[in-house]
Amino acid sequence: MSRVIELYDTLHAMPELGFEEVKTAEFLANALKKAGYSVTTGVGGTGVIGVYDSGVAGPTLALRADIDALGHFIDGKLCALHTCGHDAHTSMVLTAAEEIIAQKLISKGKLKILFQPAEEPGTGALAVINAGGIDDVDMILGLHLRPLSEVPMGKSTPALYHGASNRLKAIFRGVAAHGARPHLGVNAIDAAVAAITAVNAIHLNPSDSYSIKATKMIADAGVTNAIPDEATVIWDVRSELNDTMDLLLERAKSAISAGAATVGATAEISTYSYIPAAHYSKEAIEVLSKAIVDVYGEEGLAPEIKTVGGEDFHYYIKERPSIKAGYFGLGCDLTPGLHNPSMKFNKNAMEQGKEVLICATKRVLN
Ligand SMILES: [Zn+2]
Ligand SMILES: [Zn+2]
């Protein structure tokens, strides 16, 4: 059995949720040490970083893999399962890391292997950044398995563009009153409805793709013969570009405040669960494109892809804009889809993914 598949089988059998990747982190730290890396554990919680310094001046290249599994309810019980392929990403990055050193494939700069915790909750990358994990990085490369509907086995896309996503929350506050005397109160439900209508009337340039819609509303004063003085609404907000997200939030906040004000209520507005959109450097995309051609030939270079999912990898560039980032999508005949408990893919694709990582590294660190 090949090394990458052997690693995958090992990691697949020890799925752990975000920030609980204790066994996984220990396993990865030991493997990196054995391969010749200086290893730091506990990065941003359960992250692991391995550094190999060639001793010759040059750029620092980071290869990043996410290491957490998802929590699925199976027969009413919460189970950790690797259904997003993070075990595959980790296996490919670790195998590449081992081969690069064993075969002395780089001649300058530093190679940094970054095993990031907690991608699924969307908070692991920020934890690594806040721990100083990427302060010295010049270029960072990541990857993800792609569903068959996007890229088939035998091809990879050199740039997978995720959109930005966000949640916008407003707590509307009115004035409680008896149901028979509504004129003495301010109905928080009326405020929420006015705000939802105002948000629905936002129109940005249709050529920039975006969406904003209310996905949760809570208003329950306990009784039905009184005017409720509090209501909460949550909107799911998405956009293809980070600038569009900023504009959409600005418009939505003023629409919500104005909507609440039409009935004399106030709105306390906040955001959470923000994930930035992809923003890649031309140089990194070129490195990955050439590496894909090195491995598959020209016919294996799939077009760039826009996908609706989110990925916290994009915090690395949002928080450290000087870093050049690239992210490729690996064709592996994955069905029926990511995050599906019966997700499966062709494991042989990991050989190709690992080779793309090696070829890209050789192109940057030689
Ligand atoms: Zn996922
Ligand atoms: Zn994932």
CA–centroid distance, residue 229 to ligand 2 (Å)? 41
Residue of 170, 167, 169, 145 lying closest to 156 (CA atoms): 145
CA–centroid distance, residue 339 to ligand 1 (Å)? 6
- Over residues 129-141, the pLDDT tens digits come to 999 999 999 999 9
* Ligand nearest to the backbone CA of 87: 2
Name residues with Cβ closer than 5 Å to ligand 1, which is an ion: 84
Looking up tokens 């081969």, which residue turns up? 99
Rounded to an integer, the average pLDDT of 306-310 is 86
Q: Would you state the pLDDT for residue 308?
A: 75
Backbone angles phi, psi at 10, to 5 degrees: -65, -50
- CA dihedral sign, ordered 152, 153, 155, 156: positive
Name residues with Cβ closer than 5 Å to ligand 2, which is an ion: 84
CA–centroid distance, residue 258 to ligand 2 (Å)? 38
Residue of 5, 116, 118, 2 lying closest to 347 (CA atoms): 5
One-letter amino acid for residue 339 of the chain: H
CA–centroid distance, residue 109 to ligand 1 (Å)? 32
Can you tell me whether residue 291 is helix, strand or coil?
A: helix
One-letter amino acid for residue 312 of the chain: D
Q: Would you state the pLDDT for residue 1?
A: 86
Rounded to an integer, the average pLDDT of 27-50 is 98
Residue of 65, 133, 59, 90 lying closest to 362 (CA atoms): 59
CA–centroid distance, residue 307 to ligand 2 (Å)? 12
* Ligand nearest to the backbone CA of 313: 2
Distance CA 108, CA 200 (A): 54
* Ligand nearest to the backbone CA of 121: 1
CA–centroid distance, residue 80 to ligand 1 (Å)? 12
CA–centroid distance, residue 3 to ligand 2 (Å)? 22
Note if the bond before 336 is cis, omega within 30 degrees. yes
Sorted by sequence, the CB contacts under 8 Å of residue 259 that are 6+ apart come out as: 191, 194, 195, 196, 197, 198, 199, 267
pLDDT > 90? residue 363 = yes
- Over residues 191-243, the pLDDT tens digits come to 999 999 999 999 999 999 999 999 999 999 899 999 999 999 999 999 999 99
CA–centroid distance, residue 191 to ligand 1 (Å)? 36
pLDDT > 90? residue 153 = yes
Q: Would you state the pLDDT for residue 100?
A: 98
- Over residues 66-96, the pLDDT tens digits come to 999 999 998 999 999 999 999 999 999 999 9
Q: Where are the domains of the chain?
A: 3-162+278-364, 164-275
CA–centroid distance, residue 194 to ligand 2 (Å)? 37
The CATH-assigned architecture of domain 164-275 is 2-Layer Sandwich (3.30)
3-state DSSP of 2-34 = CHHHHHHHHHHCCCCCCCCCHHHHHHHHHHHHH
Q: DSSP letter string over 28-82?
A: HHHHHHHHT-EEEEEETTTEEEEEEE-SS---EEEEEEE---EEEEETTEEEEE-
Q: Would you state the pLDDT for residue 309?
A: 83
Q: Are 68 and 329 in contact (CB under 8 A)?
A: no
The CATH homologous superfamily for domain 3-162+278-364 is Zn peptidases (3.40.630.10)
Distance CA 282, CA 159 (A): 10
